Amino acid sequence: MRFKDKVVVITGAGSGMGRAAARMFAAEGAVVAVNDFNADTAAAAVAEIEAAGGRAFAIPGDVADETFAQSAIAEVVQRVGRVDILVNNAGVSTIQPATEYQAWRLEMGVNLDAPFYWSRAAAVQSMIPNGGGAIVIVASNACFAAFPGDVGYIASKHGAAGLTKALAVEWAKHNIRVNCVAPGLTETPMVKQGEEKDPERFKVRRARIPMGRTGKPEEQAEAMLFLASDAASYITGLIMNNDGGQMALYSGFSPQ
């Protein structure tokens, strides 16, 4: 029970690794505020947690809207008194060549503006006045290296790594730790959607993961829990890849 009575806000917690994190934080005693763009999936995540005897409530809405971020954090503070942990997990991706890329503003909004807005809202309204907190930002292997067909995703995820370092350095004096998990290929709805658009898209990539398998959402969530826990008390500004060895592999070579 590493998170007994901790208040945890998780964006994009209605599905995939966010949902896994919501379940796992709640199972370790946290009260979880579940954000999702889709109100139904947020409600379903809350229902699942409550059925398991945990505590959660839904704060659905568009993470990229700063006014919403502020009001959502205000609602959490009003209902349960504070925010101890914020997990910026919501993310979107697409497949479009850079020359015709339409999704720039959407992707920058969800993947980069949102973690900034939510972190600032949580810090200002609760963590700074309370003298502490932990923030986890979910980036991607795309925060280190690029692949063809999603310039907005790659730029925004690189930006998320910079955001992590900037906030870690500025808020260390407030006892707020800010870290980043950079998942590799993980079995989430986002990856399934990518495969629906292009069934071949991840075939080669799967074969290029040194561990020879994709990650599970729960494995990504474990890293978020670790970084948010007291076991990581001296860790801040870290970009932690969780990728079956992919970022350790030189891109010009293949695993054995």
Partner 1 sequence: MRFKDKVVIITGGGSGMGLAATRLFAGEGAIVAVNDVKEATAAAAVAEVTAAGGRAIAIPGDVSKREVAESSVARVVKEFGRVDILLNVAGIATIQPAETYDAWDRITGVDLDGPFYWSQAAAAQSMLPNGSGNIVNVSSLAGHVAYPGDVGYIAAKAGVLGLTRSLAIEWARKGIRVNCVSPGFTDTQIIRDMEAIDPNRFAERKKRIPMARAAQPEEMAKAMAFLASDDASYITGVILNVDGGQLALSSGWSPA
Q: Does 29 bind partner 1 (CB under 8 A)?
A: no
Using CB under 8 A as the binding rule, whether residue 231 contacts partner 1 is answered as: yes
Determine, following the binding rule CB under 8 A, whether residue 242 of this chain makes contact with partner 1. Answer: yes
Position among 102, 173, 196, 252 found at the interface with partner 1 (CB under 8 A): 173
Q: How far is the CB of 246 from partner 1 (least distance, A)?
A: 8
Pick the closer one to partner 1 by CB: 189 or 212.
212
Whole-number Å distance between alpha carbons of 146 and 154: 6
Q: Residue from 27, 146, 190, 232 that binds partner 1 (CB under 8 A)?
A: 232
Among 104, 144, 202, 226, contact with partner 1 (rule: CB under 8 A): 226
Nearer to partner 1, 57 or 144 (CB): 144
Q: Is 210 in the site for partner 1 (CB under 8 A)?
A: yes
Residues 111-170 close enough to bind partner 1 by CB under 8 A: 164-166, 168-170
Min separation Cβ 164 and partner 1, Å: 7
Q: How far is the CB of 22 from partner 1 (least distance, A)?
A: 17
Nearer to partner 1, 66 or 222 (CB): 222
Q: How far is the CB of 98 from partner 1 (least distance, A)?
A: 29
202 binds partner 1 (CB under 8 A): no
